[in-house]
Each structure stands twice: as structure tokens, then as C-alpha cells.
């Protein structure tokens, strides 16, 4: 292992200015009046003098709240709330009765300003999962804001149309904060997508899948704190969809676009339709595929998204089916006997939500044969084509690690520095081996700031991956290796890569990578 540790702090000096002390400044009304010009000046400094003129201005906060999930006592949660300060109010959609944050809708090319205010009683920061934004806007844990303080985000939406999401990212506390309710969808549209005629409005359905455990007074139960439980990850015994238990989606006899997000801390789903029809997948993490793909079943790991085309035109009113999770093997450590949730271990068999055909309509959309433009992968364009960057997912001293290292807030090792403008192949190996075999577990690996293309998967024991299209999170079952290609074309600075099992992430199965925009002498690119 190289011991060439770099502490990056150069860009850190800008960050402090983005912490805005809002305590004492009173209501939001006062803030939007006297406060904005000052915020603009902070932003302008970062943008090297150019004024950022947002198309949409959002006030986002996180605070303790109560939601009536079950009859009786309401459930205490921590929840995101949002309000459009300036721009189209319809861009924010609250999910009724849910602890989840509102859905934020934007269009490619728009400039977004989000003032985030932290009203939960500990440090937090918002990360835009899957979005291609400058390092400073990415919600790195070193930008955490204390209670009653704020962070100003300003970025242009560069992503393709797709299903992205936002969630907290304070080091060591992401798992518990997401668990209490802090997560929301961030949907991007673009012109090409809008020209396709996909189901929209009520036929475009977000479905956030999570597992939770509640006590007898309807309160969320997280973990006992046992090391072993943290090492496998939290598993709840109740499946929630959009924050609701026993979820049923009433549908009409027509086509739907179902946007699935696995927002669970550590649970993996092996999705299949209960009535045996194939899953028709039209999109993944980074948006629409080139063309639809068909699968009998498909894995959805924490952090991953899948978009399904589901047409109910051949079913009568009264028809019922469900999306289920099929049983699967998860490897040594994650097996039911080791897990602290004997009632619903990872890899067990259960329904996720029901579908009920409730009305007939005559509006037939057909599945487009071509969904989007996706360039073929050019592996030999990679600067490290002959020596891909290697990452090993390992356990050391009862702690998950990447290449034997655990997260340090400002630390980047020599082999975690990439050159701006380069295109690279990264290879992740969940191969364990030897004594460690029993300790193997699935790990969904996520890269911040960039979407990548999966080139190759080895050691596969399962079918059911959708490696087509653009991805930001990729599941590695025990024994598997995955290679992907990623272009570091515009934003420099420090980003994260980590396991999206949130307990693994919180325990340090996360590292920084640094995109360098100068070539320093004596260092290998």
C-alpha cells in the first residue's frame, strides 16, 4: 500500500464562507429580504466573480417532525421540507403522509440555488446522489453544518434525464439520519426524454423502497449498536414504499413509468413481478437506457435506481399483482444466522408492494424502441487501459475497508489522485479469499460526482444485473469483480467513493479521491 498521504485543504478555505450563520436572523421572510444579496456575494467569490443567476431558488430545511404512519401515536422522524422561493412552485412535490423529503424536479441546463438550513440537533450536510456537480456542491462530510446553520448550494444541472436523490452525508451519521427519514428524490428531465412520450403525470410513479422497524409505540428502532450488527448493516422487518407500510398502487389499464429507488440502509432487493411477467427496464442510475431490457428478476442495491415500464392494458379491473423480492444467497457474513434480523434476513422472500387495477381507460402508449442516445464504450480510450486502478473490498481488524484503508476526512492516498481530463478504468474486487471467505458480504460501490459505464463483471454467481447505461452505484456480490470506465472531464477537487451499505459507509468503508487539475512534477498521473 502506498503511504503517500496527502491532506488537501487548498479549496477548504472557500467552504467556511458557505456556512451562513442564520441563527438570530429570524424568519425566512427577513432572510429573503436582507439576506440574499449577501449570499450572492459569497457565491460569486466561489464562481470567480461571475454572477450566478438561478432559474429556481429553493429553501430546504431538515427538522424533527412527526408523521402519522400508523393509527395512534405519530412517529417521530427527521424530515426534509422545501419551499420554492423563486421560480415554478410545481417543482416541489410532497409525498402525502410520508416521512420522506419532497420530490424536487428540475430540467437539464437549469441553474439551481438551494439554501439548506439544518434544524436537526446534530451536524449534517446534503449530498445530491448521482448529480454531476462541482466538489464544493457535492455535500462532502467536511462541509457539515452545525444545528441552526446553513449551506448554500448553487449548481447547473448537467445530468441526463433520470431519477437521482438527495440524502445526508455527515461522517459516521449517514445511516441513522437517512433512517430517521432524511432522503428525497431529485428528478431530472431533458428535451430528448420529453420528446419520447413516456407516461407522465400520475402515470410516472416514484417508488422509494426502504425497510424499517417500529416499536410498540410506533417509534423507529435503529440498531442495538452491536459491532456485529453494524458490520452486517441494519435490516428492518417492515417494507416501506414512499414511507408507507403495506403499500398498494392503484393503476388504470395503461402504461406506467415506475421509478424505483432503493433507499434502504443495507437491504438488497431481488425484484420480480409476482405474476411472472418480465421486468421491462427502461432506466438505471444515470437515466434512460439506449433501449429497453428485459429481465426475469433484477437486483436493486442501496443507492441504486431502476425505471420500469409496466403496462396493465391486458388486465381487467380487479386484477392484482405485486412486485416481490425473491430469495437469494448473500454470502458468509450476511446470511440469516449472522444477521440480527431473523424475521426478515437479507435475501429472504417477501412482497414489496401490491398493484391493483382499479379503472379502465383507453389511453395506450407504446414502449419506444429507442429511449436515448448512449455512446458505445471505448475501453481503449482509457488512459490506464493496460493497468486499471485496483480496489479491494476487505475486512481488517473487524472493520470494512477499501484497499485496507478506512475513511479519513481530508485524506487522499497517492493512488487515489486522478488527473483532470483523464479517462480511467477502475476495478473493484469483492473477492475476499482464504480465511476471509466467511466474512464476505455484498457491497454496493458508489462513486460521487460522476456517472460511469460498467465494462465487465467477473465471478458472477447471479443473473439479474442491469449493467447497461449510466451508473453511479454498482453491486458486487461476494466473489465478484467489476470494471467501469469513467471520464474526469471537468470538475476538479475532492470527491468520495464508498460502499452504499450505510452502516459500512459510517464505519469507514469510504475514501476520498482527488481530481487534480495541475500536473505536479515527479508524480505519476
Does residue number 496 form part of the binding site for ligand C2O (CB under 6 A)? yes
Alpha carbon distance 173, 122 (integer Å): 9
Least separation in angstroms between CB 453 and ligand C2O: 19
Judged by the rule CB under 5 A, the positions of this chain that interact with Cu ion are 129, 443, 448, 499, 501, 504
Distance of CA 414 to the CA centre of its chain: 27
DSSP symbol at 452 = B
Residue with Cβ nearer ligand C2O (295 or 498):
498
Distance of CA 178 to the CA centre of its chain: 11
> Quick one: residue 469, left, alpha or beta (phi over 0 = left, psi -120 to 50 = alpha)?
left
Dihedral of the alpha carbons of 186, 191, 197, 202, in degrees to the nearest 10: 30
Q: What are phi and psi of 405, to 5 degrees?
A: -115, 150
For the record, the C-alpha cell of 117 comes out as: 438550513
353 bridge partner residues: 323
Q: Which of 354, 335, 355, 338 is nearest to 239 (CA)?
A: 354
Q: Which stretch binds ligand C2O (CB under 6 A): 24-32, 87-95, 308-316, 492-500?
A: 492-500
- Around 143, how many Cα atoms within 13 Å sit in the side-chain half-sphere? 29
Picked from Cu ion, ligand C2O, none, the partner binding residue 504 (CB below 5 to 8 A depending on kind) is: Cu ion
Alpha carbon distance 372, 188 (integer Å): 14
Q: Which of residues 151-210 bind ligand C2O (CB under 6 A)?
A: 167, 169
Residue with Cβ nearer ligand C2O (389 or 498):
498
Alpha carbon distance 113, 326 (integer Å): 41
Does residue number 423 form part of the binding site for ligand C2O (CB under 6 A)? no
What's the CA angle centered on 333, arms 332 and 337, to 5 degrees?
90
Ordered alpha helix ranges (H), 95-206: 174-179, 191-194
Picked from ligand C2O, Cu ion, none, the partner binding residue 405 (CB below 5 to 8 A depending on kind) is: none
Least separation in angstroms between CB 175 and ligand C2O: 11
Q: How far apart, in Å, are the Cα atoms of 251 and each of 204, 255, 312, 356? A: 11, 9, 8, 6
Q: Which of residues 430-449 bind ligand C2O (CB under 6 A)?
A: 446, 448
Least separation in angstroms between CB 492 and Cu ion: 18
Q: Which stretch binds ligand C2O (CB under 6 A): 81-89, 148-156, 395-403, 494-502?
A: 494-502
Q: Which stretch binds ligand C2O (CB under 6 A): 147-155, 380-388, 482-490, 495-503?
A: 495-503
Residue with Cβ nearer Cu ion (40 or 264):
264
Least separation in angstroms between CB 371 and ligand C2O: 24
Alpha carbon distance 27, 3 (integer Å): 50
Number of residues that make up the chain: 525
For the record, the C-alpha cell of 316 comes out as: 381487467
Q: Which x/- pattern, by CB under 6 A, does the window 100-129 give for ligand C2O?
A: ---------------------------x-x
Q: Are 98 and 79 in contact (CB under 8 A)?
A: no
Alpha carbon distance 464, 481 (integer Å): 15
Residue with Cβ nearer ligand C2O (448 or 483):
448
Ordered alpha helix ranges (H), 208-301: 227-232
Picked from Cu ion, ligand C2O, none, the partner binding residue 169 (CB below 5 to 8 A depending on kind) is: ligand C2O
Picked from ligand C2O, Cu ion, none, the partner binding residue 418 (CB below 5 to 8 A depending on kind) is: none
Least separation in angstroms between CB 502 and ligand C2O: 9
Picked from Cu ion, ligand C2O, none, the partner binding residue 450 (CB below 5 to 8 A depending on kind) is: none
Q: Which of 28, 189, 176, 31 is nearest to 104 (CA)?
A: 189
Does residue number 132 form part of the binding site for ligand C2O (CB under 6 A)? no
Q: Which stretch binds ligand C2O (CB under 6 A): 224-232, 274-282, 400-408, 493-501?
A: 493-501
Picked from ligand C2O, Cu ion, none, the partner binding residue 496 (CB below 5 to 8 A depending on kind) is: ligand C2O
Choose which of 498, 504, 511, 516 interacts with ligand C2O (CB under 6 A).
Answer: 498
* Position of minimal CB gap to ligand C2O: 129
Least separation in angstroms between CB 21 and ligand C2O: 27
Give residues in contact with ligand C2O (CB under 6 A): 127, 129, 167, 169, 303, 446, 448, 496, 498, 500
Amino acid at each position: 500500500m502506498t503511504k503517500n498521504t496527502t491532506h488537501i485543504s487548498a479549496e477548504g478555505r472557500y467552504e467556511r464562507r458557505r456556512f451562513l450563520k442564520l441563527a438570530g436572523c429570524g424568519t425566512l421572510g427577513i432572510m429573503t429580504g436582507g439576506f440574499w444579496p449577501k449570499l450572492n456575494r459569497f457565491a460569486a467569490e466561489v464562481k470567480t466573480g461571475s454572477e450566478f443567476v438561478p432559474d429556481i431558488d429553493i429553501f430546504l430545511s431538515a427538522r424533527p417532525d412527526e408523521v402519522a404512519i400508523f393509527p395512534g401515536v405519530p412517529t417521530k422522524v427527521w424530515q426534509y421540507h422545501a419551499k420554492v422561493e423563486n421560480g415554478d412552485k410545481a417543482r416541489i412535490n410532497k409525498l402525502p403522509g410520508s416521512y420522506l423529503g419532497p420530490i424536487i424536479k428540475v430540467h437539464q441546463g437549469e441553474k439551481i440555488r438551494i439554501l439548506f438550513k439544518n434544524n436537526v440537533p446534530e451536524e449534517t450536510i446534503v449530498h445530491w446522489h448521482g448529480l454531476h456537480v462541482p466538489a464544493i456542491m457535492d455535500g462532502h462530510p467536511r462541509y457539515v453544518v452545525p444545528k441552526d446553520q446553513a449551506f448554500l448550494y448553487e449548481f447547473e444541472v448537467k445530468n441526463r434525464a433520470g431519477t437521482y436523490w438527495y440524502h445526508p452525508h455527515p461522517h459516521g451519521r449517514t445511516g441513522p439520519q437517512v433512517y430517521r427519514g432524511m432522503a428525497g428524490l431529485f428528478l431530472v428531465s431533458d428535451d430528448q426524454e420529453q420528446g419520447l412520450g413516456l407516461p407522465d403525470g400520475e402515470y410516472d410513479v416514484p417508488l422509494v423502497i426502504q425497510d424499517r422497524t417500529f416499536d410498540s409505540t410506533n417509534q423507529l428502532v435503529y440498531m442495538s449498536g452491536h459491532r456485529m450488527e453494524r458490520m452486517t448493516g441494519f435490516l428492518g422487518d417492515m417494507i416501506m414504499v414512499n414511507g408507507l407500510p403495506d403499500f398498494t398502487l392503484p393503476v388504470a389499464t395503461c402504461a406506467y413509468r415506475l421509478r424505483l429507488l432503493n433507499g434502504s440502509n443495507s437491504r438488497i432487493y431481488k425484484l420480480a413481478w409476482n405474476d411472472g411477467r418480465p421486468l421491462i427496464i427502461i432506466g438505471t442510475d444515470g437515466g434512460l437506457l439506449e433501449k429497453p431490457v428485459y429481465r426475469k428478476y433484477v437486483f436493486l442495491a442501496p443507492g441504486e435506481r431502476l425505471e420500469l415500464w409496466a403496462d396493465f392494458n391486458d388486465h381487467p379491473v380487479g386484477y392484482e399483482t405485486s412486485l416481490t423480492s425473491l430469495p437469494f444467497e448473500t454470502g458468509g457474513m450476511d446470511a440469516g444466522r449472522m444477521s440480527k434480523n431473523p424475521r426478515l434476513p437479507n435475501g429472504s422472500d417477501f412482497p414489496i408492494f401490491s398493484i391493483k387495477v382499479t379503472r379502465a381507460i383507453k389511453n395506450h402508449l407504446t414502449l419506444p424502441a429507442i429511449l436515448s442516445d448512449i455512446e458505445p464504450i471505448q475501453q481503449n480510450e482509457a488512459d490506464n487501459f493496460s493497468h486499471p486502478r485496483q480496489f479491494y473490498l476487505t475486512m481488517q481488524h473487524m472493520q470494512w475497508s477499501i484497499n485496507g484503508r478506512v475513511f479519513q476526512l481530508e485524506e487522499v492516498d497517492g493512488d487515489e489522485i486522478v488527473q483532470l481530463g483523464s479517462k480511467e478504468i477502475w476495478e473493484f474486487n469483492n473477492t475476499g479469499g482464504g480465511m476471509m471467505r466467511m466474512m464476505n458480504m455484498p457491497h454496493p460501490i458508489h462513486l460521487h460526482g460522476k456517472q460511469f459505464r460498467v465494462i465487465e463483471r467477473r465471478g458472477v454467481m447471479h443473473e439479474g444485473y442491469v449493467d447497461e447505461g449510466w451508473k453511479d452505484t454498482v453491486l458486487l456480490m461476494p466473489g465478484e469483480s467489476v470494471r467501469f470506465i469513467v471520464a474526469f472531464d471537468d470538475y476538479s477537487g475532492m470527491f468520495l467513493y464508498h460502499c452504499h451499505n450505510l452502516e459500512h459507509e459510517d464505519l469507514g468503508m469510504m475514501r476520498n479521491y482527488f481530481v487534480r487539475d495541475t500536473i505536479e512534477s515527479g508524480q505519476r498521473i
